[in-house]
Amino acid sequence: MALIHRTTLKPTKLELLTSWLPSRPWYGGAGDPKLAKAGGFRLDDPQGEVGIEFMVATDTAGAEPVSYLAPLTYRGAPLDGAEHALVGTMEHGVLGQRWAYDGCHDPVLVAQLWALIEGRVQAQAQSITDTVDEEVTHSYAGAGLTSTQIAAPATDDADGTRLTAPDGSILHLHRVLRPAPNAASLLPEGATGHVSGAWQLPDGTRAHGLFAALHAGARS
């Protein structure tokens, strides 16, 4: 169970993301982002060592607000071989120095995300300890369990991030979020699993949308 600490972070998560987002191929802004925390959820690391957060941050710098999904992991020491995925370092008021990574490149987050899709773990509230996030939905229609190990590094392009499993299944993470009446309406044809969630729009309304879609190997 992840313990949520009420303490300080220097720099803050949003400050780290403000510097990092413009370097991503799926970032659509023209200049420096103006970010606000809009929602998200957490997953627990079974070993209790790595913080796992799926943060939604909304950029209001442009003509229209854009909400981005940022899966993040927080570690007490650098992750070997993941220098390219480092979002930044920060000083935690309780835990000391923390290394924040793009979680799509962190095997702990990837394993737990696969477990969420398969229904083996539950999404946890972003800011409340030991509380299930009832707004996160997931499904899996595969035959048996998928692997918890990716076969290749995560790849980023203008459409988001893709993770590939040993059986050829592809998990597509939607980095630019689009509100929809229901997540099912956004599922691509042939999708065999999904994760959806909720976030707050700048006008105060609650939005729901697709965070990730899983495609079986035969259709990848």
pLDDT tens by residue, 113-168:
999 999 999 999 998 888 999 999 999 987 666 666 676 689 999 999 999 887 78
pLDDT tens by residue, 18-34:
999 999 999 998 888 99
What is the number of other CB atoms lying within 10 angstroms of the CB of residue 100? Answer: 24
Give domain status of residue 2, yes or no.
no
* Biggest CA pair distance of the chain: 48
Give domain status of residue 150, yes or no.
yes
Instruction: State which residues form the domain around 177.
Output: 9-219
Which residue's entry shows tokens 């103006």? Answer: 34
Give domain status of residue 41, yes or no.
yes
Average pLDDT on 23-48 reads 94
pLDDT at 220: 35
Give domain status of residue 4, yes or no.
no
Q: Does the structure show a pLDDT above 60 at 5?
A: no
Q: Which two tokens stand for residue 90?
A: 């920060």
CA 167 to chain centre: 22
Distance (Å, whole) CA 209 – CA 187: 10
pLDDT tens by residue, 180-217:
877 667 777 888 999 999 999 999 999 999 999 998 87
Counting every residue written for the chain, the total comes to 220
| CB 24, CB 154: distance < 8 Å | no
Give domain status of residue 3, yes or no.
no
Question: pTM for the complete prediction?
Answer: 0.91
Give domain status of residue 35, yes or no.
yes
Give domain status of residue 95, yes or no.
yes
What is the number of other CB atoms lying within 10 angstroms of the CB of residue 91? Answer: 12
| CB 181, CB 175: distance < 8 Å | no
Number of domains in the chain: 1
